[in-house]
Amino acid sequence: MIDDRIAERRAEVRDERRRARLRRTLVAVVLIGLVVLLLAVERSALVALEEVAVTGTDRLAAADVREAADLELGTSILRLRLGEARERVERLPLVRTAEARRVDPLTVVITVTEREPALAVTDGQHHRVIDRDGVVLLDEEHEQLPVIEVTDEPPAVGASVEEHTALANAHRAWRGLSGPIRGEVVRYEASSADALELELANGVRVRFGRAHRVDEKVRALGAVLADVGDAPVEAIDVRAPGAPVVVGP
């Protein structure tokens, strides 16, 4: 009786092992089939990228965005790395942000938000345009923007104003000016990191100096302008904002 039970148990173990092997074989066959199917689909023209559309451009050419994205038509959409494409587009000087997304199985849309020109910069020979963040956008003149005058060549397109100490100081001052006063400034003369003068639309010159204690200097300038009203003034010195100095004609 004991031998019969042992034989039955051994038979059950053999059956369980056969069923386990069968299950493993079936799972392996299914997985291999799925891999083969995915490879076939991945290489099929049914999932090949057909179009890269670009939206949001104004100054920037759509072709430049496509070139920067480097998404080759015909590439399987299963192999597209849209995050890397977005990062490449955002390296363009004129691009503030970019987004790359699929809108259908065969089309990618890249949406860009361009940087907006805020200030012109010149040393008399070289001309640049920068945005509010201090990124150099363009290598050209822009007569409709307030201008920062520097004594040596401004940074190249794609660079930051931080590479030029006098320009960086002027840019920080511009960022700190209140809206009404900023709107009155037509020219920033940045001869060095310590010497910054502003020229207002009415011709008054403001000796501003370094871009520190900017809030205090702005309040002092606003108070002086309010006090002098229409009286003739040649210059206002707010380098020591606690004791501003007014220079008459």
What pLDDT, on the 0 to 100 scale, is given for residue 247?
Answer: 86
pLDDT at 4 over 90: no
pLDDT at 2 over 60: no
Euclidean distance between CA atoms 214 and 225, whole angstroms: 16
Euclidean distance between CA atoms 147 and 156, whole angstroms: 17
Greater confidence (11 vs 136) lies with 136
Q: 3-state DSSP call for residue 212? A: coil
What are 176-190's pLDDT values in tens digits? 997 788 999 999 999
5-9, 32-36, 204-208: the lowest-pLDDT one:
32-36
pLDDT mean over 238-242: 94
What pLDDT, on the 0 to 100 scale, is given for residue 180?
Answer: 87
Output the average pLDDT for the chain: 87
* pTM of the predicted model as reported, rounded to 2 decimal places: 0.74
Distance, C-alpha 44 to centroid of its chain: 36
Cβ pair 174, 188 in contact under 8 A: yes
pLDDT at 39 over 60: no
Q: Dig out the tokens for 132 from the structure.
A: 């509010």
Greater confidence (30 vs 132) lies with 132
pLDDT mean over 200-217: 93
Residues whose CB is less than 8 angstroms from the CB of residue 180 and which lie 6 or more positions away in sequence, other chains included: 222
pLDDT mean over 64-81: 87
What pLDDT, on the 0 to 100 scale, is given for residue 133?
Answer: 94
* CATH number of 117-247, picked from 3.40.190.10, 1.10.1240.10, 3.40.50.10960, 3.30.200.20: 3.40.50.10960
DSSP class of residue 44 equals S
Euclidean distance between CA atoms 191 and 188, whole angstroms: 9
Closest CA to 142 of 108, 118, 160: 118
Percent of the chain with pLDDT over 70: 87
What pLDDT, on the 0 to 100 scale, is given for residue 122?
Answer: 96
Domain 45-114 has CATH 3.10.20.310: yes
Euclidean distance between CA atoms 174 and 133, whole angstroms: 11
pLDDT at 246 over 60: yes
pLDDT at 79 over 90: no
pLDDT at 164 over 90: yes
Environment class of 220 (CB within 10 Å of its CB; exposed 0-12, middle 13-18, buried 19+): buried
What pLDDT, on the 0 to 100 scale, is given for residue 228?
Answer: 83
> Model confidence at 78, in pLDDT bands (50, 70, 90)?
confident
pLDDT mean over 139-162: 93
